[in-house]
Chain A
Amino acid sequence: MQRHFDEELQQLKNDILKMGALAQEAIVNSVDALKNRDKAAAKKVINSDAEMDKLELAIDEKCLDLIVLHQPMARDLRFITTAIKMNAELERIGDLAVDVAQRALDISDKPLLKPLVDIPKLAETAKRMIGEAIESFIKRDTELAKKVVLSDPEADTLKRGVEKELIYDYMMKDGSTADRAVPLLLAARHLERVCDHAVSMAEDIIYMVDAKVVRHHPEELK
């Protein structure tokens, strides 16, 4: 039986898709601003966060309306609660993109400490993980969601590599590099947090599809 409710769920799915696209775009643009020490691009990322904030509130309200008006059960309920959680994760990702953009502003007037290699890689990983999380949500693909969860160590390794290099190769050898190294350290940390949010989304998607709680239960992934 086709339900009007299904159309509303599809609209919600489209909104999450849009939120995901905005989050990916914000991350890519913030890292470009960092790499290129581009003040204008950084400010653009910071300003565009308002759009994500607005969409987040609209999605939240839509979810509450769906719960109040339709009193959903089972897979419909799991879909809506997952959308609520993903919405919050994506909004946090938007905030982290703003944080990276702020770090770009921090170093925009100074010479780049070193050519950025691992931070763009980390950004690429974050973008891919967000994209895969969103795709697994749309396709209800738990295998892809598991892949996202299992990608987390990759992001952690990249972040640790950035930290190690900046601390041991630069700051400990020459303390005067700290004002250019610390923003890069923080940017790596922001990007690693983005990956954590993608993992949280993927865990929620596995619950949405299989009703299986894998959050804090990595053994359930096997």
Chain B
Amino acid sequence: MHDINVDYEKQMGMENFHPSLVRGPVELNTNSMGEGDIFGAEPKISARNVNFCYGSKRALNGINIDFSPRRVTAIIGPSGCGKSTFIRLLNRMHELVPDSRLEGEILLDGLDILSPACDAAELRKRVGMVFQKPNPFPKSVFENVAYGLQVNGVRDRNLIEEKVVDSLKKAALWDEIKDRLKDSALGLSGGQQQRLCIARCLAVSPEVILFDEPCASLDPISTAKIEELILTLKKDYTIVIVTHNMQQAARVSDQTAFFLMGDLIEMGRTESIFKAPRDRRTEDYITGRFG
């Protein structure tokens, strides 16, 4: 069983796999926190007392956070505050980093994804990720989107085609490239490449999509398309987006979390965070007084 993100990392020469990536069938515990999130729903993902270290350097300190189902959560904070580190824990991408250490619990639908019983490849099918820089494979548009299905053993050509078309439509890319499916993905514009990566992620039917600064390298028009797409996708998916762009966080997210030096300082409804944050440090950051 392959995992699309891991295969990409392999291609990029990042093969420091943690042995725990190879695991048996998924059997997760079913305890739910049952506390309800700020929107009154059971959280899709919960982190409980999460600490994370790169070697001796502590990057996250006792993070407790709930991600609401079918909502967009923005994570903001200055460079080095731990926001990208944190979302990479949510599909266990941190296991690619040697000499890293994680403590605490991360629950997906109340099930512990850090449990030895949880298979990372299976997890990454449920929790997909889109990176800062578009990273299409050096293959055709069609093959890029079909890749995840094929490595997961799907052989039915009709089903693959159906899924590719559906994913490209969901990623708001179909109309632009329906006549270029056999062309190299590397010939697409940056914005199209990023939407292709989103389509590739959607093809394996995830439940959660993690976006790590998805518009950092895009122009305003491409950024607007990605933002519109995120707003459309949230009807079906739980979305977590790391962004340095305050306005983007305000535009696309329902709730916002502010990280600082490895701590979660404040989390709340986006409009509250940007109108009247409770913590002075959040206010100083979002008003540009530091960071």
Q: Which residues of A contact B (CB under 8 A)?
A: 1, 3, 5, 71-78, 211
Q: How far is the CA of A72 from the CA of B283 in the complex (A)?
A: 11
CB distance from A82 to the nearest CB of B (A): 12
Q: List 26 A-B contacts (CB under 8 A).
A: A1-B289, A1-B290, A3-B288, A3-B289, A5-B288, A71-B246, A71-B247, A72-B287, A73-B246, A73-B250, A73-B274, A73-B275, A73-B286, A73-B287, A74-B274, A74-B275, A74-B276, A74-B277, A74-B282, A74-B287, A76-B287, A77-B274, A77-B275, A78-B275, A78-B276, A211-B276
Residues of chain B in range 265-291 having any CB-CB distance to chain A below 8 Å: 274-277, 282-283, 286-290
B282's closest neighbor in chain A, by CB? A74
The answer for the CA separation of A211 and B280 in the assembled complex, in Å, is 13
Contacts of B247 in A (CB 8 A): 71
Residues of A within 8 A of B290 (CB): 1
What CA separation (Å) do A211 and B250 show in the bound complex? 18
B274: chain A residues within 8 A (beta carbon): 73-74, 77
Q: Which of A71, A72, A73 has the most CB of B within 10 A?
A: A73
How far does the Cβ of B231 sit from chain A's closest Cβ, in whole Å? 19
Q: For the complex, what is the distance from the CA of A72 to the CA of B250, rounded to whole Å?
A: 12
**Total contacting residues, chain B, CB less than 8 A:** 14
Known: A1-B289, A72-B287. 13 other contacts (CB 8 A): A1-B288, A3-B289, A5-B288, A71-B247, A73-B286, A74-B275, A74-B282, A74-B283, A74-B286, A74-B287, A76-B287, A78-B275, A78-B276
B residues in contact with A73, CB < 8 Å = 246, 250, 274-275, 286-287
Closest Cβ neighbor of B278 among chain A residues:
A211
What residues on B are CB-neighbors of A78 within 8 Å?
A: 275-276
**Once the chains bind, are B287 and A75 in contact (CB under 8 Å)?**
yes
How many angstroms between the C-alpha atoms of A73 and B276 in the bound complex? 8
A residues within 8 A CB of B289? Answer: 1, 3
> Which residues of B have CB within 8 Å of A3?
288-289
Give Cα A76–Cα B288 distance, bound, in whole angstroms.
10
Chain A's closest residue to B291 (CB) is A1
Closest Cβ neighbor of A2 among chain B residues? B289
Q: How far, in Å, is A8 (CB) from chain B's closest CB? A: 13
**Interface 0/1 of B181-192, CB less than 8 Å to A:** 000000000000
A1 to B286, CA, bound (A): 13
B286 CB contacts on chain A under 8 angstroms: 73-74
Pairs A-B, 9 closest by C-beta atoms: A211-B276, A73-B286, A74-B283, A73-B274, A76-B287, A74-B287, A73-B287, A1-B289, A74-B286
Determine how close the nearest CB of chain B comes to the CB of A7; give it in whole angstroms: 14
Bound CA span A73–B275, Å = 6
Q: Contact mask B137-168 → A, CB, 8 Å, 1/0?
A: 00000000000000000000000000000000
List, in ascending order, chain B residues with CB within 8 A of A74's CB. 274-277, 282-283, 286-287
Residue of B nearest to A70 (CB): B288
Q: Chain A nearest CB: distance from B290 CB in Å?
A: 6
CB distance from B250 to the nearest CB of A (A): 8
Q: Which residues of A contact B287 (CB under 8 A)?
A: 72-76
Residues of B within 8 A of A71 (CB): 246-247
Min CB distance, B215 to chain A, in Å? 16
Give A206 to B288 CA distance when docked, in angstroms.
Answer: 23
Q: A211 to B277, alpha carbons, bound, how many Å?
A: 9
B279 CB to closest chain A CB (Å) equals 11
- Residue of chain B at shortest CB distance from A3: B288
